[in-house]
Structure formats: C-alpha cells, structure tokens
Amino acid sequence: MDKKYQVFVSSTFEDLKEEREKVIETLLYKNCIPVGMEYFPAADDEQMTIIRQLIDECDYYILILGGRYGSIEPKTQKSYTQLEYEYATEHGIPISAFLIKDKGNLPNNKTEKDNPEKLEAFENLVRHKMCNFWNNADDLAGKVSLSLDVQIKKHPRVGWVRADKIASDEANSYIIKLKEENQKLKEQINFLSSATPAGSECYMQGNDLFDIHYTVPINPFGDDRERLYIVQKTWNEIFLSICTVLLKPITEKFILEQLERALLAEEYASINETDFQTILIQLMALKLIKTDTVKSEYDGIYTYWVLSQYGRAEMIRLKAIRRANNSSSFNK
C-alpha cells in the first residue's frame, strides 16, 4: 500500500525560514505530508487548539531549535514552539529534535533578546531526550531525512492512504481471505467425502453376501423359456466388478451389462431387474456411487451414474497393489 506519513514541523519562523524550507522540501521528497505554523495566521487560543488537533493527526513530530525562543502564549508564558513540543511529548508522538550546534555564529537578528533564560531552559528540556545538532540548512535537511527513516523503522505509524486505495486493498484482502477459506473448505469436503459415511455401518457391505437372481434362456435362438439361477456375491465383489467403468459417467444399462459380464459365467444371462435396482440402491446407501443429470442437445435431460469421492477412495483401497513388506525403498 502506498502510505504517506504526516509530519509536524515545529520551530520559530522568521529566523528559520531557510531551514524550514529545506526540511519541508526533504519531507515532500520522501513522500511525506509536512504540516507547520506557516499554514496559520496569528498566534491565539484558537490557533493553538487547531495545532493540537493537527499534532494528534500527525505520525511524527520534528522540532528545530535555533537562536530564538519564539512568540509567547499569554496564559502559560511559554513559547508556542515549546507548547507544541510538550503536547507532542505528552501524547506519545515520535519526536526528532534538532538543536543548532553553535549559536555564537548566528547573526544578531537571529538570537534571543527577550527571553534567553526560557530558551536555555527549553534547550535543557530537549537535551534530556535524544536530540541531534545541526550546522546549516543542508546539514539539517540531511539529518532530518536520516532520523525520519529511523523513526519509521523503530516506531511504525498508521500513516495516510488514498480512500480509493484503501477500498481496493480491503477488497483484495477480503478476496484473499475468501480464497483461503474456500481452499480450507475444499480440503475439508475432500476429507469428509473420502471418509466412511456416518450411519453406513447398518447396511450390508464389504464381505456380506447378496443373492443375485438371474435367468438364462434354454434356447437363446428358440422359444422364451428360461432357467432361474442364484449366485452369491459379496458387496466388495459387486462393487469391484463395476467401479473402474464408473470413473466416467455411464448409464444404468451399461452398469447392468458390466455386472452381467463380470459376475455371471453363463452367456446370455440376465440379472433380475429387482436385484439390479437393489444393487444400485445399496451402493448409493453406502455412498459409493452417485447420480447426476446431463442436458443433451438432442435427447433432453438424462441421468448418469459415477463414483463418489468416497467410492474412489474405496476403489483404491480395494484394488491398489500393496507391497509384500513395509520397506520404504524401491527394489531395483
């Protein structure tokens, strides 16, 4: 996200115009939003209220001290610069303070005449915390840039972003979250689909036997007379006889033909319709097979049969070739 940090620049004004301009230029170059007293007219109670609100909204605070103490606020008898500094300190705004290194080299119009004691007390207050010293405008701008990098790394703040960018990022985050949740649900569904269905233990299955009634014509090319036979098959045998063809969607007729080929020895044998439907119902009850519908351009809607997820897992369990031992290496 393209984030900008709002930085409050606090200093006296007339004597530090060049230095402030350099610092503000540096902040703009660093994609920050500079805020300071030059955006306000006279110093009064209303202005101080606005400045406090602005400091609350800022991410970082920069103090620049030169040779002047600044305009005095009548009620506290402190300079507005000192009041700004104290307010930022009280409210936990990360502060970078810069004091001029040698006030003796300043011209006379940039030194404090009225309140030198207050300026010294303010400087001592600032020195009790971490501070830097500057020589000229360029030196100050460079040190502000480095200090702000450290502050952003050590004290990350909320910052500011475009409203449309927030909406976009929130939407992207929401989409990513939905994808993650969707993937987890898919994994859970696959797991549950491959697990033994709840309640299936009450149904005949596995090695339980089922009597299949079938008929064979006495003379396939003569009259309609038939002989009735019964063959016993386990449910595993029944399922294994058709599971591989059910990897693709097939019709009931194809399932019946596959059962007759795989389970009955006699040619022209036909499984009893009732028994065939019982087989389908039983395999559905065991959640081994399922039905679905397909819309055909020519034949309308028709129903087909296919293995369920659990049916695929059971097919693998029953048909996959196992090793003779538990060795984890391949024999070469």
Question: Residue 1's pLDDT band (boundaries 50, 70, 90)?
Answer: low
What whole-number distance in Å separates Cα of residue 225 and Cα of residue 223? 6
Contact 100, 134 (CB under 8 A): yes
- Tens-place pLDDT, residues 69-120: 998 988 899 999 999 999 999 999 999 999 999 888 889 889 988 999 999 9
Question: Residue 164's pLDDT band (boundaries 50, 70, 90)?
Answer: low
Least confidently predicted of 222-231, 263-272, 322-331: 322-331
Question: Residue 329's pLDDT band (boundaries 50, 70, 90)?
Answer: very low
For the cut 90, the answer to whether the pLDDT of residue 8 exceeds it is yes
- Tens-place pLDDT, residues 250-300: 889 999 999 999 998 788 899 999 999 999 999 999 999 998 876 666 666
- Which residue, among 314, 258, 263, has the nearest Cα to 289 in the 3D structure? 314
For the cut 80, the answer to whether the pLDDT of residue 328 exceeds it is no
- pLDDT score recorded for residue 73: 86
- Tens-place pLDDT, residues 191-212: 555 567 777 789 999 999 999 9
Percent of the chain whose pLDDT exceeds 90: 50
Annotate the chain with three-state secondary structure. CCCECEEEEEECCHHHHHHHHHHHHHHHHCCCEEEEHHHCCCCCHHHHHHHHHHHHHCCEEEEEECCCCCCEECCCCEEHHHHHHHHHHHCCCCEEEEEECCHHHCCHHHCCCCCHHHHHHHHHHHHCCCEEEECCHHHHHHHHHHHHHHHHHHCCCCCECCHHHHHHHHHHHHHHHHHHHHHHHHHHHHHHHHCCCCCHHHCCCCCCEEEEEEEEECCCCCCCCEEEEEEEEEHHHHHHHHCCHHHCCECHHHHHHHHHHHHCCCCCCEECHHHHHHHHHHHHHCCCEEEEEEEECCCEEEEEEEECHHHHHHHHHHHCCCCCCCCCCCCC
Task: Determine whether 131 is exposed, middle or buried from the number of CB atoms within 10 Å of its CB (0-12, 13-18, 19+).
Answer: middle
The model's pTM: 0.51
